[in-house]
Amino acid sequence: MARFSGSTLISRLLGLAREQVMSHFFGAGIAVDSFNAAFRIPNLLRDFFAEGALSVAYVPVFSEKLKKEGKEQAFLLTSTILTVLSVILGLVSVIGIVIAPWIVRVIAPGFADSPGQIELTVAMTRIMFPFLAFVAAAAAIMGTLNCFGRFGIPALAPAGFNMASIIAGIFFRRYFDPPILVMAWGATIGGIIQMAMQIPQLYKLGFRFRFRFSFTDNAVSKIIKLMGPAAVGVAAAQLNIIVGTLLASLQPAGSISYLSYAFRLMHFPLGVFGVAVAAVSLPDLSAIAAEGKTELLFSKYIRSCKTQLLFLWPSALFLIVGARPICAVIYQHGLFGWQDSINAAYALQAYSVGLIFFGLVRLAAQVFYAHKNTATPVRISMITVGINILLSLLLMKPLGFVGLALAPSLSAAANFTMLSSRIRKKIGRPDYRQLYNVFVKATIAAGAGCVATYIFLSFFNLYDNYAGLINTVPQLALAFAVGIAVFAGIGWILGLFKRDTK
């Protein structure tokens, strides 16, 4: 997992750099709102055909085929999946380009009140639709490599996407009118690079692509069967995002941008730790489930959950305490001002409330995926959608766009609670008491660390103004260094970091 986390860390750092380029040159206004809304659309479909439904269906089937029939037959399945994806998603991209005006009017109706914003969003949607096919192929290749224990390069591949966007924004924006269009082209080219970076390692394993379009292959049929419920589950999750974007488009200009900038920061620890743990655990859990070793599966699951808690819960608390100076240091450059930093910080704090649950939901769902049960997480996801929509509508009026960040956080907590309950009823009884012990110790240690950080941030007056990178970065670094040292010291005393040998 260390290699995966290290590669993911590099990718996430470049992701933050990409957001810095966006905030510096484009700020948090209509143009960035339009880009984020346009990118929501191929991203929605990406979760259907890539990291979402395809991954949870493909990895267990490929893992089983590799174990029972060998590498050659498993690679034949990979060729088939890549062929099917290229044909179907090519057609989807063409259709999406044609009907983009109607899609945009559905997903961001509030843009109609701003002259030219609908047209700008449509243009970027059309540019980015082909991104879907490339990133879906990248996800299939990533799943294949993960089943062979190759995690580093697949985790690093998104760095190619981020680098393409960074280079596009810095060096080529002046050649586009309006300049924000360059970020759409950067995203599409980045998708190609994300796929291409993984191909050499796949070929080193002996894979050779063969064009094979077939729905009759038993393994392909099994993947499609598993993808059905998983796709509904992804649709449920994406419906939350669509509703959030739709409601945010009705808020003042910049609301979608603030949510996007905040989500990127919240997703940094989630990607480095949460997604890393989940990605590494799925092939392992699938192989254990195929052997019928339920107790061993639960042991691995609880260990992964404890790792999530150890990293994500303290991260959430520190993000909540340091949200304002963090947003200022990372984003407040160029067209991004102090009030923009404050607004992004409010959204970051709301998202951070659910950080630990965003990570734990992925792990809990994988217990079902490993048993080739995608239906149960789907039903729970549908319930969660209703909860999220209700909370969004209730919280939007008093809290504005901040309510739209808090709603999914609270919904994620409900999602994990329901998944955990169903695991106990359908599969067995994991020892959740271990999680409770880690949670209590992490809360005590991280809470003390956050108090120390807050004292230093207040002393340096970092909550009230931004004095530039040269002055702020050393003060912010010192405040967090003291807080982390307090967390580590108390955590060591409480035995929080003892190696888990169970």
CA distances from 194 to 12, 58, 78, 490 (A): 14, 19, 18, 41
Is pLDDT above 90 for 40? Answer: no
Task: Give the amino acid at 73.
Answer: Q
What CA–CA distance (Å, rounded) separates 178 from 163? 21
Tell me, yes or no, whether 88 lies in a domain: yes
Contact criterion met (CB below 8 Å) for 38 and 104: yes
Cβ-in-10-Å burial (0-12, 13-18, 19+) of 429 comes to exposed
pLDDT digits (tens, 9 = 90+) for 418-447: 998 888 776 767 777 888 888 999 999 999
Tell me, yes or no, whether 501 lies in a domain: no
pLDDT value for 229: 63
| Number of neighbours of residue 307 by Cβ within 10 angstroms | 21
Peptide bond into 178 cis (omega under 30): yes
When pLDDT is cut at 50, 70 and 90, the band that residue 221 belongs to is confident
Residue 195 is encoded by which pair of tokens?
Answer: 């796929």
Tell me, yes or no, whether 287 lies in a domain: no
When pLDDT is cut at 50, 70 and 90, the band that residue 306 belongs to is confident
pLDDT value for 420: 86
**Residues in contact with 56: Cβ distance below 8 Å, sequence separation at least 6, in sequence order:** 226, 230, 282, 365, 366, 369, 374
Residue 106 is encoded by which pair of tokens?
Answer: 């559905």
What CA–CA distance (Å, rounded) separates 447 from 486? 9
Reduced to 3 states, what is the DSSP secondary structure of residue 1?
A: coil
CA nearest to 58, candidates 382, 376, 374: 374
What CA–CA distance (Å, rounded) separates 9 from 162? 13
CA nearest to 391, candidates 247, 191, 230: 247
What CA–CA distance (Å, rounded) separates 147 from 203? 15
Q: What is the mean pLDDT of the chain?
A: 84
Which residue, chain included where needed, has tokens 């103004």? 465
Tell me, yes or no, whether 353 lies in a domain: no
What CA–CA distance (Å, rounded) separates 383 from 392? 14
* Degrees, nearest 5: CA angle 43-66-225: 50
Contact criterion met (CB below 8 Å) for 132 and 161: no
Tell me, yes or no, whether 196 lies in a domain: yes
| Number of neighbours of residue 210 by Cβ within 10 angstroms | 12
Q: Which has more confidence, 370 or 465?
A: 465
Tell me, yes or no, whether 199 lies in a domain: yes
pLDDT digits (tens, 9 = 90+) for 103-133: 898 888 888 878 889 999 999 999 999 988 8
pTM for the structure as a whole: 0.73
What CA–CA distance (Å, rounded) separates 201 from 193? 14
Tell me, yes or no, whether 365 lies in a domain: no
CA nearest to 462, candidates 470, 171, 448, 454: 454
Contact criterion met (CB below 8 Å) for 330 and 16: yes
CA nearest to 243, candidates 8, 494, 37: 37
Domain count, the chain: 1
Rg (CA), the chain: 22
Which residues form the domain of 215? Answer: 30-228
Tell me, yes or no, whether 263 lies in a domain: no
Is pLDDT above 70 for 452? Answer: yes
CA distances from 164 to 167, 270, 358, 360 (A): 5, 23, 28, 31
CA distances from 45 to 88, 150, 256, 319, 391 (A): 12, 26, 19, 30, 25
